[in-house]
Chains A and B, each alone.
Chain A
Amino acid sequence: MKLRLRIWRQSGADAKGRMVSYELDDVSEDASFLEMLDVLNERLIAEGEDPVAFDHDCREGICGACSLVIDGQPHGPQAATTTCQLHMRQFKDGDSIDVEPWRAGAFPVIKDLVVDRSAFDRIIQAGGYISAPTGTAPDAHAVPIPKQDADAAFSAAACIGCGACVAACPNGSGMLFMAAKMAHLGLVPQGQPERSTRVLGMVAAHDDAGFGGCTNVGECAAACPKEIGLDVIGQLNRDFRKAAIRAA
């Protein structure tokens, strides 16, 4: 298939970026979106131009590195699919496709389509864990966990930390990411002792990092490639109020 791409090019963090057009002939519909960009980059290098920088690693939808806004949608048009798993058969011959980086105040652009998502790590550092130093654990069967809780915890823990939720949110909020981690840890008995300090710490780190507030728009859940739902945000708000009252 033939495609016209318009890609955000920005040579560095402080440089001014712009959309640049490229024509591609002969794109295989079996190629993934990133493989299509590989083909473009091979051509650019051969022509002596700087190839398009983009983050990617596992290319099987689990590492969370890939991060493109495709035609205005984080990870593109296919539901529950990361950019690396999106295949060109989702597009038509002759399509024109816009490719941009995540855009959010807390995720500054480093180069082209690569952004800095280290703010997510800082949120985890502020309490997104259970304190269980190595060697201190009781037998794994000491505390049974109801299957429905374990399953729900897993579904929340399936978050890959890609940041599509932030890119989709008109406020640039990281609530879905943060709430998913809190839901995971809040659903298992091991996570209860730190539940209050966790929510207060993580929310403070989230706000410090420059993420916006949540106004229940719901774009985040629609964009999430792992289909994490808005219910986790409801639980976060409840936990936060409880903890804040207790702390006051």
Chain B
Amino acid sequence: MSIDYYREGEPVADTKAPAGPIEQRWEKRRFSGRLVNPANRRKLRVIVVGTGLAGASAAATLGELGYRVANYCFQDSARRAHSIAAQGGINAAKNYRNDGDSVHRLFYDTVKGGDFRSRESNVHRLAEVSTEIIDQCVAQGVPFAREYGGLLDNRSFGGAQVSRTFYARGQTGQQLLLGAYQALQRQVAAGTVDLHTRHEMLELIVADGKARGIVVRDLVTGAISTEIADAVVLATGGYGNVFFLSTNAKGCNVTASWRAHRKGAYFANPCYTQIHPTCIPQSGDHQSKLTLMSESLRNDGRVWVPLRKGDDRSPADIPEAERDYYLERRYPAFGNLVPRDIASRAAKVVCDEGRGVGPGGLGVYLDFADAIKRLGKPAVEAKYGNLFDMYERITGENPYERPMRIYPAVHYTMGGLWVDYDLSSNIPGLFVTGEANFSDHGANRLGASALMQGLSDGYFVLPNTISDYLADGPFAPLDEDHEAVVAARKEVDDRIAFFLGNDGDRTVDSFHRELGKIMWEYCGMERTDEGLRKAIGLIRDLKAEFYKRVKVTGTAGELNQQLEKAGRVADFFELGELMCIDALHRTESCGGHFRAESQTEDGEAKRDDEHFSYVAAWEWGEDEPVLHKEALVFEYVKPTQRSYK
């Protein structure tokens, strides 16, 4: 075992991105990729796991193209995937505002926003496709916000100086997902998609070097079954729930990705997590999740804390001169609209100084008094009414009268399974879309870009790239008694039998909470060499304790929510350790990854391009993980120190 807990392997040889001028690469790839004749498509079976934006859009589109699709989700309906909760909006380089936006500017902003840790080719494609997404969604009837002339409205959003964000009140994710869900249901009715709800993928089947299927558990009956196909697409979302408390839905988990990782798929940049600055602070030990307040609120709300430490006066009693509008002070050009990572860390800094507000001093004010004075209460209500109502339901405080209290919380994970330009993992036949892959956001994702990426991958990229792989199919049938199938099933059966047979005395949630605290403390907003080493030790100890003491009630052959959770938490332990190892090895600060040892004199993140301008793609190893580096090349956007001052 090495001192840094990993060893280094060969660099990643090829990302399959075409060469040549960047604006021609996607077209080039679409032309060079092989196609599948429409008559042959119905002979090809594709599994799509997940029904969020990236999964439902892919399954629907593949179905429309004539492939035979099997689509799985653990929720009781495809419509409930967590994309539904995205509030703010979706970016697109339409330049409907005539404010200087373009594909190139969206590309530039995304590369810069990602702190120069993403691939130029992928990001440019995302910016190109962004405009088609809006057209597609409008055609499906998505009720975007409109102006009185009947045209689409736009707003500026987190870190952007142009208005390129399309939105549907504070429920953009819901409306986009329902569009994709309805397209998916149309294909279910047409017979091209078999949809299996309340089914969870528990293992990937890799046979003869190719991803050929999955093992699933029917969450109602407990029955274990296998599904064999010509390709597998994972659209299973992010892993923010490793922190226990996050803005993710309770069911969000890493199991599908992690099982694939253990079967050989590289996991890239696991330490890149996004901590969202505007969430409702914790209220107590019972807390089960954290709720995001859309960052669109930062367009009109002003963030502040008392100037003086320990000032516990009611906010209304603190005069202007004794308030510190720290974002406006530190970042005059962007003010309250600085990117998420910067806003989050700034909140941590003032709270660490003892100037935080609310229970435990873990909160800052987001104040709408000026906006109400300037625009009037009705205008503020029209823009943010539903968010204000939600805040009041959760906290019991009225944000029209008293500033909101907010605090950062884990929201999104930029890391994920490694994919090439075609969204293929390093296992042939295994594709990964949406938040589950690592591809487009670098070390930090800009607001309103997650919806864009999920739909770009699912509607436009994957359906084009997967045909090049499927052109070699259909592959030889795989019997239930093939050794790869038998082995995968056995792994699932053994795990279930272990949990139910374990003579433990601690609940799954109690372990999950403890793991989450370790991750938040040492692998959260600020990371250090010492802290990360300590965390790795703590995680290993807790994991050993988990296997000794975890208690799962009930049986395998029924709806058993404890059993579901146990498997997910077991995988979170292994992921958490890899996140810490990744964070430990990357001694620079970049985007959402802030290493205290690497900061500028005024406390900003300091990148180290000389040593770390690469994607860290980790291969599973029984004793220790193996690092494969993919060098990042910047031909169009010159890496600079990000400045929002």
Q: Interface of A with B (CB < 8 Å)?
A: 11-12, 28, 30-32, 34-36, 38-39, 42, 45-46, 48-51, 53, 55-65, 78, 80-81, 85-87, 89, 110-111, 114, 116-118, 120-121, 124-126, 128-141, 143-147, 150-151, 153-154, 157-158, 160-161, 184-185, 187-188, 190-191
Contacts and interface: CB of A to CB of B under 8 A. Distances in A.
A145 B137 CA distance: 14
A146 B150 contact: yes
Contact of B84 (A51, A62, A139, A147): A62
19 contacts: A12-B558, A30-B283, A38-B509, A58-B82, A63-B85, A86-B393, A111-B558, A117-B77, A118-B76, A132-B136, A134-B460, A137-B136, A137-B139, A141-B152, A144-B146, A150-B143, A150-B150, A153-B143, A154-B169
Contacts of B291: 59-60
Max count, chain B CB within 10 A of own CB: residue among A34, A57, A139: A57
Contacts of B607: none
B143 A45 contact: no
Interface residues of B, number: 81
Contacts of B136: 132, 134-135, 137
Interface in B52-106: 57, 60-61, 64, 75-80, 82, 84-85, 94, 96
B239 interface: no
A150 B396 CA distance: 32
A56 B564 CA distance: 14
Contact of A121 (B78, B148, B390): B78
A157 B286 contact: no
Interface in B377-391: 389-390
B149 A144 contact: yes
B188 A125 contact: yes
Contacts of B394: 32, 85, 87
Contacts of A147: 146-148, 150
Given A39-B286, A58-B249, A65-B76, A129 B182 contact: yes
A59 B561 CA distance: 16
Contacts of A134: 57, 60-61, 64, 136, 183, 459-460, 463
Interface of B: 57, 60-61, 64, 75-80, 82, 84-85, 94, 96, 132, 134-141, 143-152, 168-169, 171, 174-175, 178, 181-183, 185-186, 188-189, 195, 197, 220, 247, 249-251, 283-284, 286-289, 291-292, 389-390, 393-394, 396, 459-460, 463, 505, 507, 509-510, 551, 553-554, 558-559, 561-562
Chain A contact residues: helix, strand, loop or mixed: loop
Contact of A63 (B249, B288, B390, B551): B249
A130 B149 contact: no
Contacts of B182: 124, 128-130
Contact of A140 (B94, B141, B250, B288): B94
